[in-house]
Amino acid sequence: MRKGMNFILFVFLLLLSACGSNDVIIKEQTEEKQLQKKSTSKFKDASFLRDPTKIYTYEFSDDTFIVETIERDNENEQIWNQSMGDGSTKQTIMMEEKDGLMIGDAQSKSPALRYPIELGQTWQQCNEENECISYEIVTLIDYYTTSAGKFTDVAMVESSDGRTAYFAKEVGLIYIEDQNKDALVELIGLQEFTRDHTSGKEAVYHWEEVVDTAGGKHRVDIVPIEDKSYPSGMTWAGANEFDLIREGSYEFRVDDITQSEKIDDWLFNMEQNSGRIIGTKPNIIVVQQTESSNSNYSKLFYIHDEKMVEVKDTAGRSSGFFYSGDRVYPLSEDTFLTAWYNNAEVETYYELYTYKITDLAAGTTELIKEDKVRLEESEAYFQQFEENSAPAN
């Protein structure tokens, strides 16, 4: 009899335990549903269009980088400039419509996200051959972290090709991984974007005492007409990764007086010596772009009769000068030398070109001498010019 009572008591305890566990399960399920409902409400009417006040830097699985800056922000339509890292650029159009976030170019656009943002939302993208990829919003999460930081209110999208993408509210795409959880695309940088539309903005370069052809001194600024600034997306001939680049059109101010001479379609690397002063009387302002590992392209300017003058080529054109390294040196008040590193022949040497400014008011030049110096002699040869090429105060 005692054994029977013990068995009944044991079963009773099991039932109590089971009921207790069930209570826990019911409680957890209720809390999960409440949390899910709360989480889902945060995505109602949420925008996943990019933030136009930011610079977006993405890293791809093949170790390439793309830096994107806003070109135009017109309510629900954005045009972004993509710097591909190799000097080339392209544009991306993003549009937020009632049914979703569209992305593409001038020819076509496809849905990147389908609205409303909710679990189980599905859509397709098809190409011209009618090959389609299916997408589904599978999770809504409170936050997700990439190298660019921690992002809240994130929609996780799985596609039929095995990829998973993460979109953050008011930010856009932040991460894509493959079926093995390896990163394909990652947002690694999200920085403030500054864009100058008038010449009243901060100077790109500023010099307090620039000597003119008569020996007078002037304050000179290079200021933007319109430009954009962004970090370099990769290491290339003209920049290291993350060097600050300024790109656009610029003008000069001499003693706060805007000059007629302009610098159009130019790229300044602010981490390198892309704007410098050489010579003594007059000082020559050199603005430089890197074309390749062996080639720089520069425009030269000086002040004459209180006006900025651009140095012209021998045909009188504002075409600039090509040379290697920092090889442009003043020889006298009206004469300067450029040097080109030539390794295309059996003997490596520098080709030397000496120009004389024949009209100070117009900046026209003539080539008065051509020469070359052997590579093993070049270091000593160029040393004599270093003092003249030192920056002015």
Token pair 């006040």 is at which residue? 53
Task: Confirm if 130 and 114 have CB atoms less than 8 A apart.
Answer: no
What are the phi and psi torsion angles at 27 (to 5°)?
-65, -45
Looking at the structure, tell me whether residues 151 and 65 fall in a common domain: yes
Per-residue pLDDT band for 19 (boundaries 50, 70, 90) equals very low
In a domain, 45, yes or no: no
Token pair 């990439």 is at which residue? 146
Task: Confirm if 286 and 335 have CB atoms less than 8 A apart.
Answer: no
Task: Give the per-residue pLDDT at 366.
Answer: 93
pLDDT over threshold 50, residue 101? yes
Which one of 144, 166, 192 terminates a domain?
Answer: 192
Q: What residues make up the domain containing 124?
A: 54-192
pLDDT over threshold 60, residue 35? no
Per-residue pLDDT band for 96 (boundaries 50, 70, 90) equals very high
The residue-averaged pLDDT of 10-23 equals 39
Which residues have CB under 8 Å from 389's CB, separation 6+?
Answer: 278, 279, 326, 328, 329, 330
Per-residue pLDDT band for 393 (boundaries 50, 70, 90) equals very low
In a domain, 366, yes or no: yes
173-200 pLDDT tens trace: 999 999 999 999 999 989 887 654 333 4
pLDDT-above-70 percentage for the chain? 82
In a domain, 14, yes or no: no
Task: Give the per-residue pLDDT at 15.
Answer: 33
CA dist 245 and 193 (Å) reads 12
Looking at the structure, tell me whether residues 247 and 264 fall in a common domain: yes
In Å, how far from its chain's centre is CA 366?
39
Query: What strands, in cross-sheet order, belong to the sheet with 349-359?
Result: 328-330, 335-342, 349-359, 364-374
Looking at the structure, tell me whether residues 257 and 374 fall in a common domain: yes
Cis peptide before 224 (omega within 30 of 0): no
In a domain, 9, yes or no: no
In a domain, 393, yes or no: no
Q: Read off the tokens for 324.
A: 């290697």
Rg (CA), the chain: 32
Among 83-92, 274-283, 330-339, 342-351, the range scoring the smallest mean pLDDT is 83-92
pTM: 0.53
Task: Give the per-residue pLDDT at 187.
Answer: 95
Looking at the structure, tell me whether residues 78 and 201 fall in a common domain: no
pLDDT over threshold 60, residue 25? no
Q: Which helix (H) or strand (E) holds 163?
A: none
Task: Give the per-residue pLDDT at 192.
Answer: 81
Looking at the structure, tell me whether residues 243 and 185 fall in a common domain: no
Which one of 192, 211, 240 terminates a domain?
Answer: 192
Looking at the structure, tell me whether residues 180 and 236 fall in a common domain: no
Looking at the structure, tell me whether residues 327 and 178 fall in a common domain: no
CA nearest to 371, candidates 344, 350, 347: 350
Per-residue pLDDT band for 32 (boundaries 50, 70, 90) equals very low
In a domain, 15, yes or no: no
CA dist 266 and 310 (Å) reads 15
pLDDT over threshold 60, residue 241? yes
- Overall number of domains in the chain: 2
In a domain, 87, yes or no: yes
CA dist 370 and 375 (Å) reads 16
Which one of 176, 192, 208 terminates a domain?
Answer: 192
How wide is the angle at C-alpha 360 spanned by C-alphas 355 and 364, nearest 5°?
50
Looking at the structure, tell me whether residues 178 and 324 fall in a common domain: no
Looking at the structure, tell me whether residues 233 and 347 fall in a common domain: yes
- Specify the higher pLDDT residue, 346 or 69: 69
Token pair 């270093």 is at which residue? 386
Token pair 């972004």 is at which residue? 80
Looking at the structure, tell me whether residues 288 and 175 fall in a common domain: no
CA dist 66 and 89 (Å) reads 9
- Other Cβ atoms closer than 10 A to 115: 20
Looking at the structure, tell me whether residues 150 and 170 fall in a common domain: yes
Amino acid identity at 315: A
Task: Give the per-residue pLDDT at 48.
Answer: 95
Task: Confirm if 348 and 342 have CB atoms less than 8 A apart.
Answer: yes
CA nearest to 246, candidates 304, 296, 287: 287
Per-residue pLDDT band for 215 (boundaries 50, 70, 90) equals very high
104-117 pLDDT tens trace: 887 778 899 999 99
252-274 pLDDT tens trace: 999 989 999 999 888 888 888 78
Task: Give the per-residue pLDDT at 11.
Answer: 35
In a domain, 7, yes or no: no
Looking at the structure, tell me whether residues 286 and 227 fall in a common domain: yes
CA dist 105 and 93 (Å) reads 5
Task: Give the per-residue pLDDT at 390.
Answer: 55
C-alpha dihedral (284, 289, 291, 296), degrees to nearest 10 = 20
